[in-house]
Structure 1
Amino acid sequence: MDTPRERLLDAILGHAVFDGWSEAAFRATAEDCGIDPALARAHAPRGAVDLAADYHRRGDRQMVAALADAALSNLRFRDRIAHAVRLRLDGADRELVRRGAALFALPQHAATGAQLIWGTADAIWTALGDTSRDINWYSKRATLSAVYSATVLYWLGDESEGHQATWDFLDRRIEGVMRFEKTKAQLRDNPVLSKLLAGPLDIIGHVRAPEGQAGLPGQMKEDPTT
């Protein structure tokens, strides 16, 4: 459905490349769409910030759709994650992402930026069939959020052919996570450490993933363009 906010998002992309996700870009976008600035603000209360967040979420949806069509059954799980991240970045405009990274690095927008990154990690894990509902639900998304953030920053400055340096960087980050998970499993299976950590482990064992509670990590805000 072609909503006013969706039209604003489509129209601001050409402005944001040159002016960033700025007030100037938002005003020019409203003019392009023939929408009064006050009415445009009603559809996007934070102006370009809301549209930048919509652009990020649109990328997540496109990635999930591409993953649904991908042949992943023969891939190792770590390779499925790498493939998902590649799909996410391949579908993005690097200059728009660069401008967005600058926007969400500002203190007043940092929380929104962190939520968007968490949402991407959640979208990837959910699309790949993650069924964890305990502390692993959080740790998987936190770890992937860190990997994704680092990979995006590397990608923004990568001039290698086909962004091969970025994909090599991503593989190294995932390899590091796999080594950490292996070490964690070894420590958990150590009888001495298990006894020493019995109390904290018991507390952690009661942690559960959120069930439709707005505002918790990984809960995507309703997108008004859908």
Structure 2
Amino acid sequence: MTDTDMAGHDHATDFGTDPTRAALLKAMLPHVPAEGWSDRAFEAAAREAEVTLSEARAAAPRRGLDLAAEWHRQADRALVRRLRAADLSGLRMRDRIAFAIKARTEETSEREVLRRSTALFSLPQNASLGAHLLWETADLIWDALGDTSRDGNWYSKRATLAAVLASVVLYRLGDESPGLERTRAFIDRRIDDVMAFEKWKAGARDNPVLRHVAGPIGWLMGQIHAPERPDLPGGWKEK
């Protein structure tokens, strides 16, 4: 995939890359497996990054939660670079999606950090942010692979892929196979689910049995419009 293929789809690289936040994240990651994204780990990271607590809180107002989100987005930015460097032109769409998800999984290879992050975003007060981050990643992948839909299909594609991404994270947490072989096989199976749904949507229009349902649904999907970035579902503008 060339830079031209990615043109116009750089929103994932626009996430906050504040140098203080980046330094805090780098210093905090070694503490996360034992202490989680806690205030104690955050304060230790500030000391090790040689920034005052005030400076640290200015860069990450929600402390560990902001750094956990930055860790997720850091992996998204790495995925953008990998997709730009990869030549996917000879692959089927299902294989392109599988490649992207496998590459994204490799960017968060630290299982204990991933486990702590999953637990953090599973808390009720953080669930909206967790869902928003998954949606960002799904949006990034579909955009990078050339999706141009701006109607209801924009939502259905990203909702389906976000669900796959969530299931892959949970499966990966229990996978101890060499090279994450089981997770990679799981991704292939789940991508089949995504493509089966897309195939069903395409075929429903031509199926005489489903046509009476597909027609109204297709009309409704056409009336829905994708949001303007960065206002993705579940998100808010950070201060």
TM-score when normalising by structure 1: 0.90
Q: Comparing 194-203 with 178-187, which one deviates more in the overlay?
A: 194-203
Q: Alpha carbons of 1:196 and 1:57: their partners in 2 closer, same or farther (altered >3 Å)?
A: closer
Give the drift of 1:219: 7.0
Aligned equivalents of 2:207, 2:137: Cα separation in 1: 34
8 Å CA contact 2:136–2:232 kept in 1: the answer is no
Secondary structure of the 1:25 match is helix
8 Å CA contact 1:119–1:219 kept in 2: the answer is no
Structure 1 vs Structure 2: percent identity of aligned residues? 53
Which residue in 2 is equivalent to 1:46? 62
The question of 1:35 aligning with 2:66 is answered no
8 Å CA contact 2:138–2:158 kept in 1: the answer is yes
Aligned equivalents of 2:76, 2:236: Cα separation in 1: 11
How many residue pairs match? The answer is: 222
1:64 to 80, 88, 109: 80
Task: Note the alpha carbon deviations across 1:70-114, whole angstroms, 9 max, x for none.
Answer: 121111111111111111111212221111001001111011100
The question of 1:163 aligning with 2:180 is answered yes
1:91 to 73, 96, 107: 107
Which residue in 2 is equivalent to 1:123? 140
Aligned equivalents of 1:196, 1:125: Cα separation in 2: 26
Q: Alpha carbons of 1:44 and 1:68: their partners in 2 closer, same or farther (altered >3 Å)?
A: same
Secondary structure of the 1:80 match is helix
Which residue in 1 is equivalent to 2:205? 188
Unaligned runs of 5+ in 2: 1-16
Aligned equivalents of 1:165, 1:45: Cα separation in 2: 38
TM-score when normalising by structure 2: 0.85
Q: Aligned AA for 2:93?
A: F
Task: Note the alpha carbon deviations across 1:156-196, whole angstroms, 9 max, x for none.
Answer: 11011211111111111111222232233332223454335
Please give the root-mean-square deviation of Cα atoms over the aligned residues, in Å: 2.1
Give the drift of 1:204: 2.3
Give the drift of 1:216: 2.8
Aligned equivalents of 1:159, 1:18: Cα separation in 2: 19
8 Å CA contact 1:104–1:110 kept in 2: the answer is yes
Q: Aligned AA for 1:95?
A: E
Q: Alpha carbons of 1:45 and 1:31: their partners in 2 closer, same or farther (altered >3 Å)?
A: same
Q: Alpha carbons of 1:219 and 1:22: their partners in 2 closer, same or farther (altered >3 Å)?
A: closer
8 Å CA contact 2:128–2:234 kept in 1: the answer is no
Structure-to-structure mapping, 1:121-160, within 5 angstroms: 121-160=138-177
Q: Alpha carbons of 1:47 and 1:110: their partners in 2 closer, same or farther (altered >3 Å)?
A: same
8 Å CA contact 2:204–2:214 kept in 1: the answer is no
The question of 1:82 aligning with 2:93 is answered no
8 Å CA contact 2:135–2:232 kept in 1: the answer is no
Q: Alpha carbons of 1:123 and 1:171: their partners in 2 closer, same or farther (altered >3 Å)?
A: same
Give the drift of 1:197: 5.4
Q: Alpha carbons of 1:91 and 1:221: their partners in 2 closer, same or farther (altered >3 Å)?
A: farther
Q: Alpha carbons of 1:220 and 1:175: their partners in 2 closer, same or farther (altered >3 Å)?
A: farther
Which residue in 2 is equivalent to 1:73? 89
Structure-to-structure mapping, 1:184-223, within 5 angstroms: 184-191=201-208, 193-196=210-213, 198-212=215-229, 214-217=230-233
Which residue in 1 is equivalent to 2:40? 24
Q: Alpha carbons of 1:2 and 1:175: their partners in 2 closer, same or farther (altered >3 Å)?
A: closer
Unaligned runs of 5+ in 1: none
